[in-house]
Amino acid sequence: MMANNWKTKKEIMRDYGYSEGTFYSRCKECSLLPEYRDAIIHDGGQRTFVDENRFQDFLRYRSEQYRKRQLDPHIREEA
């Protein structure tokens, strides 16, 4: 891991058990959200780094959105 808590694509794939497709899917989803897009760092077209702290914030957000979708519609309106 780099000193600034950035990880390479391979490190994230290994540490999170992601396939390459899942990695790129998560990066795309993360990049589309203004509040989390800074988690994905593109160094030109060849290298992608991930700020792991920000990426984990995104995963927590993603998890919360999933939880809300699973709620009964009557409860969801109140949440």
Distance CA 30, CA 8 (A): 16
The answer to the question of residue 74 being in a domain is no
DSSP string of 1-23, one letter each residue:
--TTSEEEHHHHHHHHT--HHHH
The answer to the question of residue 51 being in a domain is no
Give residue 69's pLDDT.
83
Q: Where does the pLDDT of residue 24 fall: very low under 50, low under 70, confident under 90, or very high at 90 and above?
A: very high
What is the tally of structural domains in the chain?
Answer: 1
The answer to the question of residue 18 being in a domain is yes
pLDDT tens digit string along 31-75?
Answer: 999 999 999 999 887 889 999 999 999 999 999 999 888 877 766
For residue 35, the enclosing domain spans 8-43
The answer to the question of residue 19 being in a domain is yes
The answer to the question of residue 3 being in a domain is no
Q: In what order do the strands lie in the sheet with 6-8?
A: 6-8, 47-51, 40-43
The answer to the question of residue 58 being in a domain is no
End-to-end CA distance of the chain: 38
